[in-house]
Chains A and B, each alone.
Chain A
Amino acid sequence: MILELAYITAAAVISLILFIALDIFWKLPKEGGVSGADAISREIVAAGGDKNGGWMLGNIICSPDASAGTLLAACGYWICGIPGGIAVAVLVFIGARICADKGWAGTSGALAATIIIWALSTFAGFPPEAFIAGMIIAILLVQGISPLHASRALGSIWRKI
């Protein structure tokens, strides 16, 4: 039980770092990529949050980004192994186009997560389902506790980089 919780905690930290790094790499906090993201950012700013962090949260909500790619790749790898992860990357690419998002964050997130989960489950003994639970905890930390404070933290990370 304690070992399983440790795996889930480690998977949550790895997923959190992976999707925030990829979202910042694809410049999600720079602007609202889709129209709904702008509205969410304005609402977060009106409540006292950060504009860039708000755009990033808006983009996460309004189109499948690296966080969605990581979660769905974990599901795909758990069900079908590496082919499942690649299938998810293709489906996320189609899904992002359906949401009028021209970016590559979701697809690259799914591929990167598949490689990381394959490496960690093959060489470090991580159960792939730990990444499903871990990613849920990671997105809970970013969006589910306090979007205001998360937007400020993400905005300050974006400005530092």
Chain B
Amino acid sequence: MLELAAAVCAVVAVYAALRAVLEKNTLRKLPFINVMNFAVAGIIALILPHPLTLVAAVAYFVGATLEANAIASALAKLTPEDEP
């Protein structure tokens, strides 16, 4: 079961990374990078079951969402709003 769960996470992580690389628009890359972060956080916990690994997985994931937020809000300030 462990191998299968880890394989699912790894395949999803690689797929999401490829989609992010192939997407040209930076803001549209973020959903795929988010999927990759989910999969990597899952792999971190699956690969080494230890309480500290759990803290590492949470720290990695929270850091990744914080970075996505920073990238998205910085880009929003750089580009003028085109909504009426």
Where the two chains meet, the residues of A that have a C-beta atom closer than 8 Å to any C-beta of B are: 1, 4-5, 7-8, 34-40, 42-44, 46-47, 57-58, 60-64, 67-68, 71-72, 75-76, 78-80, 84, 87-88, 91-92, 94-95, 98-100, 127, 129-130, 132-133, 135-137, 139-140, 143-144, 147
Tell me whether A61 and B38 are in contact in the complex, defined as CB-CB below 8 angstroms, given that A98-B62, A127-B1, A132-B46 are known contacts.
Answer: no
Tell me whether A133 and B72 are in contact in the complex, defined as CB-CB below 8 angstroms, given that A79-B54, A98-B66, A143-B31 are known contacts.
Answer: no
Assess whether B21 is interfacial by the CB under 8 Å rule.
Answer: no
Interchain residue pairs with CB less than 8 A apart (15): A5-B4, A35-B72, A35-B73, A44-B28, A62-B72, A63-B65, A64-B65, A68-B61, A72-B41, A79-B45, A95-B62, A136-B42, A137-B12, A139-B38, A144-B19
Tell me whether A140 and B5 are in contact in the complex, defined as CB-CB below 8 angstroms, given that A36-B72, A75-B57 are known contacts.
Answer: no
A-B interface, 6 closest residue pairs, ranked by CB to CB distance from nearest: A36-B72, A95-B62, A39-B76, A75-B45, A62-B69, A35-B73
- Chain B residues closer than 8 Å to A72, beta-carbon distance: 41, 54, 57-58, 61
A67 to B50: give the CA distance in the assembly, Å.
22
Give B49 Cβ to nearest chain A Cβ, in Å. 5
A100 to B68: give the CA distance in the assembly, Å.
13
CB nearest neighbor in A for B36:
A144
B:35-84 near A, CB below 8 Å = 35, 38-39, 41-42, 45-46, 49-51, 53-55, 57-59, 61-62, 65-66, 68-73, 75-76, 81-83
Once the chains bind, are A147 and B31 in contact (CB under 8 Å)?
yes
Once the chains bind, are A99 and B5 in contact (CB under 8 Å)?
no
Once the chains bind, are A36 and B54 in contact (CB under 8 Å)?
no
- Chain B residues closer than 8 Å to A43, beta-carbon distance: 25, 27-28
CB nearest neighbor in A for B16:
A144
Tell me whether A91 and B69 are in contact in the complex, defined as CB-CB below 8 angstroms, given that A36-B76, A136-B42 are known contacts.
Answer: no
- Chain A residues closer than 8 Å to B28, beta-carbon distance: 43-44, 47, 147
A137 to B16: give the CA distance in the assembly, Å.
11
- Chain A residues closer than 8 Å to B57, beta-carbon distance: 72, 75
Once the chains bind, are A61 and B68 in contact (CB under 8 Å)?
yes
Once the chains bind, are A46 and B32 in contact (CB under 8 Å)?
no
Once the chains bind, are A36 and B70 in contact (CB under 8 Å)?
yes
